[in-house]
Chains A and B, each alone.
Chain A
Amino acid sequence: MAVSIKPDSAQIKITARPHVNTPAISGTSMSYTGTPIQATGEVTLLGAPGDSASGWTVGFVQVQWIETNWCYYRGQTANDGSIFIQRARPPARPNQACCDCVNGSPPGKLFYSTIPAHGEIATGTGGAIFPLKLTVSHFDQPADTVNLVETNSLKGKPNFLAESQMEFHFCTILSVRDPAGKFHHLLSFYWNVHWQATFHPTSFTNPPAGFNIQVVPAGSSANVGHLIKGTPTDRRFVGILNSTPTQSCNQVAAAEVTGPNRHEAPIWQNFDVRRA
């Protein structure tokens, strides 16, 4: 009898649901943080005495399939100009979907982390006793920052953070990789974190003494969906699952921060946040 995945044995338990914090000043940045999402997962392998579970790996895979990430700056007066920074559209971010794996874990492996100490994967061994239950855990705590002040090059004036919106949507999948390297995506759930707020500096110094921060309630939340059986078929990210990603979401996000789409105006101008 060959080793196989016990039907319907995949289980995920969400042990901590994420919450978002109100944006807060951190040095010269506005930080967007929250509490972590945590989950456990288990899958049972079947086999006969003498079979080897070597080469079988259970673990979490995570893709990010939506990123909203823009911020708007205004000078002290209308003639000091305004700036719109768009990070989440091409060319700053060429694609919405990416393979989310921790720094130090190769995205080409698809798993969220292949580093054993992280506990995100569990591997079978040669002397396993069947049925073999493999258990794993999952942790994520996404965050981001933007500068408090940007200099408007058209006016040579400091422009102050006035509004921002961030939305990160993920799908987390409990998967098994068999000895042939084929992935079996068994159970998944969607989750997301949103931050949106308006800001007004308490002084027009650089950096400002502080900011009055008004959270936009409709744009500030953290949500976790229900469990979905079977291989994900969502066309918005299924391509990631069927490929060998070369970049992680952390790398994609770092690049969009380094080279965002930047639009400057000599006056206080409204920008269409949907555009690049």
Chain B
Amino acid sequence: MAEFRRTQGMKARCVAVWVVPVLLGAVSCASSPVEHASAPPPEEVSVVVRNLSLPGAFEVENLGPDIELAWAVTVQRHSKSEWSDEVTDLTLIEKCGQTPPAHCVPLAHGARLRPVRWNGLTCGSQCAATCRANVYLGPGEFRFVVSSCDGKHKFPGPAFEMPPHDQWK
């Protein structure tokens, strides 16, 4: 929700932050004071991960050249000033039942993806799945990290709060 309330100027600043996402891995758009003069040149890799209004909902937009993204999305937890990976089965799936891609997910310049919302679980993170052991990871501060297909580029999204399980709707 906060993402949609931003002005164009704020958006441009946010975009610039993600030009070097690996270096600025822990910086979120929402809180970054970093200033840049202009949007990145189109030849530079620039993928933005935005949180949507409901906790666990997010979208991915490619502001750079055409790119292939990894199907799996990493969930990270913020704890003791560090981001650490959680093990989930979160992916870029946009609709339950969608066949996973054979390799990676192409995302053209300017295109957006809205994956199915994360439900906070380690197993069946978005759609029902075969799960016996399963843990709800909230409450806590989390972020999503989308990766390029080759894994060389990481695109962390801004932090968001996952509520306790009984408050997740």
Contacts and interface: CB of A to CB of B under 8 A. Distances in A.
Interface in B97-140: 97-98, 121-124, 127-137, 140
Contacts of A175: none
Given A27-B97, A113-B135, A139 B129 contact: no
B159 to A, nearest CB: 15
Interface centre among B88, B134, B165 (most CB of A within 10 A): B134
Interface stretch (A40-48, A101-109, A127-135, A220-228): A101-109
A168 B79 CA distance: 34
A29 B87 contact: no
Contacts of B122: 102-104
A141 interface: yes
A27 B124 CA distance: 14
Interface in A24-50: 26-29, 31-33, 36, 38
Given A27-B95, A102-B123, A141 B131 contact: yes
Contacts of A117: 77, 79, 84, 86, 137, 140
Given A27-B98, A33-B128, A143 B137 contact: no
B68 interface: no
B72 to A, nearest CB: 13
Contacts of B132: 64, 98, 100, 140, 142, 168, 248-250, 252-253
A249 B123 CA distance: 12
Contacts of B140: 117
Contacts of A118: 135, 137
A139 B136 contact: yes
A64 B140 CA distance: 29
A62 interface: yes
Q: How many interface residues does chain B have, given as a range? A: 20 to 34
Contact of A254 (B77, B87, B124, B130): B130
A237 interface: no
A139 B129 CA distance: 17
A141 B89 contact: no
Given A103-B89, A103-B122, A250-B123, A143 B135 contact: no
Nearest to A141: B134
A26 B131 contact: no
A118 B121 CA distance: 11
A112 interface: yes
A264 interface: no
A105 B96 CA distance: 26
A145 interface: yes
Q: How many interface residues does chain A have, given as a range? A: 35 or more
Interface centre among B98, B127, B129 (most CB of A within 10 A): B129
A46 to B, nearest CB: 30
Contacts of A32: 128
Given A26-B97, A117-B79, A145 B135 contact: no
A118 B95 CA distance: 28
A140 B136 CA distance: 8
Contacts of A250: 123, 130-133
A144 interface: yes
A62 B137 CA distance: 18
Nearest to A168: B132
29 contacts: A26-B97, A27-B96, A27-B97, A29-B96, A29-B97, A33-B128, A36-B134, A38-B165, A62-B133, A100-B132, A100-B133, A102-B134, A103-B133, A104-B122, A113-B135, A115-B87, A117-B77, A117-B79, A117-B84, A120-B135, A140-B134, A141-B121, A142-B132, A143-B131, A145-B130, A250-B123, A250-B133, A253-B130, A253-B132
Interface of A: 26-29, 31-33, 36, 38, 62, 64, 98, 100-104, 112-113, 115, 117-118, 120, 139-145, 168, 248-250, 252-254, 257
Given A103-B133, A117-B77, A143-B130, 9 more contacts: A26-B128, A36-B134, A36-B165, A102-B135, A113-B133, A117-B79, A139-B136, A145-B129, A250-B130
Listed from nearest, the 7 A-B pairs whose CB atoms lie closest are A27-B97, A104-B87, A31-B128, A249-B132, A27-B96, A28-B97, A102-B133
